[in-house]
């Protein structure tokens, strides 16, 4: 597991509890990995590595860094990937394969994965899981092998046929939730406001036009489904971008809102609402990086 944030830490714990040997690759040493889930706090007996030179090829690599940190994981990826290794890219956004391919040996199997998991990192090595434990991956032999490896973990690995559409649907889930909670520094309860619901609907409708131009089968039903997902998340739930801002970490807006705006530009489609959000998010991110 490369990355010990909310998603990476939670997935590492699930895999270890299922009996797999798990090593978590991190920049700074951790004493332990604990996860608060289902009303209890459990420790995961994982190993930790801080030096790429001290690891060797493995069967599965899960890359769970933020999308903007992919290049920084190259040292780990080069050491961990052997002839039979597959890399599961658990990141937000679209274009997972193209993002990772430059940093792994030629011919390495790459499996994009969309995480439907609400979790937050309370502190280094301390994760709180809120709701959901599901990964969506493209159909094929890699998907089947990955699902079999995690069959006893409690994680649902769901192979899907039209991954382009699925990736844009997942992007939809993040598209208003992440930017708005981060900009407002509020949790999911903010979406109980009818005006926020209306703004969210307009943001998603604007993005749906872009998604269709990219080949995704996205329509009004997806807008409604996304709003239903927001209503189902507990009011005290948050988003990865919110948690990053609160912790003073750089945000991944370029791979969420930025992906929509750039795709719109490629197709000559105006995206004024998403463009406005991107401008605001870039301003916040500059301050975080200063």
User: 163-289 domain in CATH 3.40.50.20?
Assistant: no
**Hey, how many other C-beta atoms are within 10 angstroms of the C-beta on 217?**
13
Q: What is the pLDDT of residue 64?
A: 98
Of all residues in the chain, the percent with pLDDT exceeding 90 is: 91
Which residues are annotated as catalytic? 170
- Bridge partners, 37 (sequence order): 40
- The whole-number average pLDDT for the span 237-247 is 90
* Cα separation values, 32 from 13, 15, 23, 89, Å: 11, 15, 12, 24
Give the residue-averaged pLDDT of 6-31.
96
**Statement: the pTM of the whole predicted model exceeds 0.95:** no
Q: CA-CA distance, 214 to 220, in Å (whole number)?
A: 16
Q: What pLDDT digit, counting tens, does each position of 163-222 carry?
A: 999 999 999 989 999 999 999 999 999 999 999 999 999 999 999 999 999 999 999 999
Residue 240 in this model has a pLDDT that exceeds 90: no
Stretch among 31-35, 39-43, 242-246 having the lowest mean pLDDT: 242-246
Q: What is the mean pLDDT of the chain?
A: 96
Domain boundaries, the chain: 6-160, 163-289
CA-derived radius of gyration, the chain: 18
* Residues contacting 190, CB < 8 A, separation 6+: 180, 181, 184, 196
Res 118 pLDDT > 90: no
SS3 state at 60 = strand
CA distance 260 to 265: 9
Query: In angstroms, rounded to a whole number, what is the distance separating the alpha carbons of residues 276 and 6?
Result: 28
Mean pLDDT score, 222-243: 92
The residue among 107, 106, 177, 164 whose CA lies nearest residue 136 is 164
A 10 A CB-CB count for 63 gives 28
Closest C-alpha among 146, 69, 195 to residue 77: 69
pLDDT digits 0-9 by tens, 55-88 = 999 999 999 999 999 999 999 999 999 999 999 9
* Element housing 225 (H / E): helix 220-232
Domain spanning 6-160, CATH class: alpha beta
User: What residue has token string 């040493």?
Assistant: 29
Place of tokens 């309860």: 189
Maximum distance among all Cα pairs of the chain, rounded to whole angstroms = 53
Q: For tokens 């706090």, what's the residue?
A: 41
Same fold, 6-160 and 163-289: no
pLDDT computed for residue 72 by the predictor:
96
């Amino acid at each position: 597991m490369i990355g010990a944030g909310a998603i990476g830490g939670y997935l590492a714990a699930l895999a270890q509890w299922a009996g797999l040997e798990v090593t978590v690759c991190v920049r700074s040493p951790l004493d332990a990995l604990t996860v608060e889930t289902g009303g209890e706090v459990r420790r995961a007996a994982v190993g930790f590595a801080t030096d790429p030179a001290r690891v060797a090829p493995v069967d599965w690599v899960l890359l769970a860094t933020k999308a903007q940190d992919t290049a920084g994981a190259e040292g780990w990826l080069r050491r961990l990937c052997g002839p039979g290794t597959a890399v599961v890219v658990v990141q937000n956004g679209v274009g997972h394969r193209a993002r990772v391919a430059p940093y792994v040996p030629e011919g390495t199997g790459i499996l994009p994965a969309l995480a439907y998991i609400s979790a937050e990192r309370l502190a280094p090595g301390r994760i709180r899981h809120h709701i959901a434990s599901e990964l969506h991956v493209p159909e094929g032999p890699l998907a089947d092998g990955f699902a079999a490896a995690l069959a006893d973990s409690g994680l649902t690995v769901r192979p899907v046929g039209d991954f382009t559409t699925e990736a844009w649907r997942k992007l939809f889930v993040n598209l208003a939730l992440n930017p708005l909670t981060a900009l407002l520094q509020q949790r999911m309860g903010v979406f109980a406001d009818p005006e926020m619901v209306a703004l969210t609907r307009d943001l998603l409708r604007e993005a749906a036009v872009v998604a269709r131009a990219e080949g995704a089968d996205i329509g009004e039903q997806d807008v409604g489904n996304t709003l239903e997902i927001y209503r189902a998340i507990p009011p005290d739930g948050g988003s990865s971008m919110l948690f990053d801002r609160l912790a003073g970490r750089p945000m991944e807006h370029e791979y969420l809102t930025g992906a929509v705006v750039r795709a719109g530009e490629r197709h000559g489609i105006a995206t004024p609402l998403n463009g406005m959000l991107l401008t605001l998010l870039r301003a916040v991110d500059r301050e975080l990086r200063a």
